[in-house]
């Protein structure tokens, strides 16, 4: 037998895609005690700190990316995480690489393993693609922008990561040199990238 308030709270979650941050749930009239009682009863599952989802929904394919898209909707998945998403790296990084625009208020992402990178407004705004994942809209840089970003951050991530990704990009056959060079210019790495593009592509 469900406790009073559970049915109403479940309906609120259902009509909001089955998933809500704590702040949104409270704003919609769900009492904090109800949230935690529903979690204890197994009706809700905590995806990360401050984010709940109905337990009887199908499992999420990308729970961390979905959680980030809800808790930090203005951020963009970047660098090694974007490479892995696009199939340009064999191994997912231990932390999700997340781009934030300089001057942006840092999002609260406790409970998620995230490495933040601060981009200039010019470099941040270009090359963003949006993907529907488990009912959420996840922002990820496209392949060409990501390759340029990896060359820009080669001193932090290692040049090998960028070179492996460039070879995988070549091997899949859909090469867009014009876009690569455009993003290389945006990221100010055209002189660094040019010799590798000529050698590998």
Question: Per residue in 100-134, pLDDT tens?
Answer: 999 888 888 777 889 999 999 999 999 999 998 88
For the chain, what's the residue count?
Answer: 201
Q: What is the mean pLDDT of residues 25-32?
A: 91
91 plus 183 within the same structural domain: yes
Per-residue pLDDT at 72 exceeds 80: yes
104 plus 171 within the same structural domain: yes
88 plus 130 within the same structural domain: yes
In a 3-state reduction of DSSP, which class is residue 175? Answer: coil
Q: What is the mean pLDDT of residues 159-178?
A: 92
187 plus 128 within the same structural domain: yes
Rounded to whole angstroms, how far apart are CA atoms 46 and 71? 13
Rounded to whole angstroms, how far apart are CA atoms 186 and 201? 20
The predicted pLDDT at position 151 comes to: 97
24 plus 110 within the same structural domain: no
Structure-token match 């690569």, residue found: 180
The predicted pLDDT at position 4 comes to: 62
181-195 confidence digits (pLDDT tens):
999 999 999 999 999
Per-residue pLDDT at 169 exceeds 80: yes
More confident residue, 53 or 83: 83
Per-residue pLDDT at 2 exceeds 60: no
87 plus 162 within the same structural domain: yes
Compute CA distances 184 → 82, 90, 121, 180, whole Å: 17, 23, 16, 6
Choosing from 18, 34, 54, the residue where a domain stops is 54
The predicted pLDDT at position 17 comes to: 83
Residues spanned by the domain of 81 = 63-200
Per-residue pLDDT at 98 exceeds 70: yes
The predicted pLDDT at position 182 comes to: 95
Average pLDDT, the chain: 90
């Amino acid at each position: 037998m469900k406790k009073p308030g559970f049915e109403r709270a479940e309906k609120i979650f259902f009509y909001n895609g089955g998933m809500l941050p704590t702040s949104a749930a409270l704003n919609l009239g769900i009492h904090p005690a109800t949230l935690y009682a529903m979690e204890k009863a197994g009706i809700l599952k905590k995806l990360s700190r401050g984010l709940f989802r109905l337990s009887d929904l199908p499992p999420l394919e990308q729970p961390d990316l979905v959680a980030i898209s809800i808790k930090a909707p203005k951020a963009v998945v970047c660098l090694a995480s974007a490479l892995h998403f696009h199939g340009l790296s064999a191994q997912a990084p231990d932390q999700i690489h997340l781009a934030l625009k300089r001057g942006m208020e840092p999002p609260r992402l406790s409970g998620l393993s995230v490495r933040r990178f601060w981009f200039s407004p010019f470099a941040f705004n270009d090359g963003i693609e949006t993907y529907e994942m488990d009912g959420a809209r996840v922002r990820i840089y496209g392949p060409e922008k990501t390759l340029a970003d990896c060359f820009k951050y080669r001193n932090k991530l290692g040049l090998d990561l960028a070179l492996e990704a460039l070879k995988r990009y070549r091997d899949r056959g859909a090469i867009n040199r014009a876009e690569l060079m455009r993003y290389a210019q945006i990221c100010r790495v055209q002189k660094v990238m040019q010799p590798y593009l000529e050698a590998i592509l």
